């Protein structure tokens, strides 16, 4: 169970579209603050249906006009071992629904090279992060995450090796239950972020969301429990059906 002292907020929305609109607003606000304070905004994206809706909201003129996109740098918290044009690619999803519509410059797009052998892709991405952040800590301004019905997040799946490597930041994680290996941020890198936002939708995730937020600590069984920023905020954007098994006093409704 997450620490009660962490800066955690659970926000509940009637629909996934409502959630996506507010997530886009949050992105815009955090981008403006980061650019004003530090001159750039670094964000790590996730894949999935809900992020696609968030991307579309961000690409709409009312949101897009509020961001200096030349100062936004896009990364990915995980990627499948596929080329960038593969339908399963998290990069391709963002490219089609956000990056291309906004005309993001190539130098601001930092994709994981999923077409390479996973161990090589992870090592190259780790080195790329070191080069990007330089002497500063590798600390993202914002990281987007989803949560699967098995409690996984990014490509940190239950009972996989990446859960037991406290020093690594980007790894090739073998996922036997999916018969694949994926490239993923570790919990240590995610927890260094200034802000982490989970997007959770659907009644099928209500039970596991209850266990992740309120159940006994079982991080190997529910890797999403590992996410607790050390000096940042953690916000859960949740639809009402996904929040159905959570107590009302824990929630902040839109």
Residue 188 maps to a domain: yes
Q: What is the pLDDT of residue 39?
A: 98
- Taken in order 169, 215, 7, 242, the sign of the CA dihedral is positive
Residue 2 maps to a domain: no
Residue 168 maps to a domain: yes
Mean pLDDT (whole number) for 179-207 = 98
The tens digit of pLDDT for each residue in 109-158 reads 999 999 999 999 999 999 999 999 999 999 999 999 999 999 999 999 99
| CATH number, domain containing residue 184 | 3.40.50.1360
Residue 100 maps to a domain: yes
Residue 193 maps to a domain: yes
Residue 114 maps to a domain: yes
Evaluate if residue 2 carries a pLDDT over 90: no
Residue 137 maps to a domain: yes
As for how many domains the chain has, the answer is 1
Q: What is the pLDDT of residue 252?
A: 84
Q: What is the pLDDT of residue 4?
A: 38
Mean pLDDT of the chain: 95
Q: What is the pLDDT of residue 166?
A: 86
Confidence of residue 7 (pLDDT cuts 50, 70, 90): confident
Residue 172 domain boundaries: 7-253
Residue 1 maps to a domain: no
What's this model's pTM, rounded to 2 decimal places?
0.96
Confidence of residue 1 (pLDDT cuts 50, 70, 90): very low
Mean pLDDT (whole number) for 210-219 = 96
């Amino acid at each position: 169970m997450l620490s009660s002292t962490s800066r955690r907020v659970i926000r509940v929305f009637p629909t996934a579209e409502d959630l996506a609109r507010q997530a886009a607003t949050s992105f815009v606000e955090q981008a403006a603050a980061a650019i004003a304070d530090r001159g750039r905004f670094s964000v790590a994206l996730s894949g999935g249906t809900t992020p696609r809706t968030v991307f579309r909201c961000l690409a709409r003129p009312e949101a897009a006009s509020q961001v200096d996109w030349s100062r936004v740098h896009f990364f990915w918290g995980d990627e499948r071992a596929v080329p960038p044009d593969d339908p399963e690619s998290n990069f391709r999803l963002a490219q089609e629904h956000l990056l291309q519509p906004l005309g993001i410059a190539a130098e601001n797009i930092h994709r994981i090279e999923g077409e390479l052998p996973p161990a090589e892709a992870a090592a190259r991405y780790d080195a790329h992060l070191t080069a990007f952040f330089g002497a500063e800590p590798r600390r993202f301004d914002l990281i987007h995450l989803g949560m699967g019905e098995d409690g996984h997040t990014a490509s940190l799946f239950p009972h996989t090796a990446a859960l037991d490597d406290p020093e690594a930041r980007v790894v090739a994680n073998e996922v036997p239950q999916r018969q694949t290996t994926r490239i993923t941020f570790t919990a240590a890198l995610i927890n260094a972020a200034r802000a982490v936002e989970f997007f959770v939708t659907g009644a099928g995730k209500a039970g596991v969301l209850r266990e992740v937020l309120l159940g006994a600590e079982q991080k190997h069984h529910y890797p999403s429990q590992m996410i607790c920023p050390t000096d940042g905020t953690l916000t859960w954007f949740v639809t009402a059906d996904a929040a159905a098994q959570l107590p009302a006093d824990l929630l902040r409704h839109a």
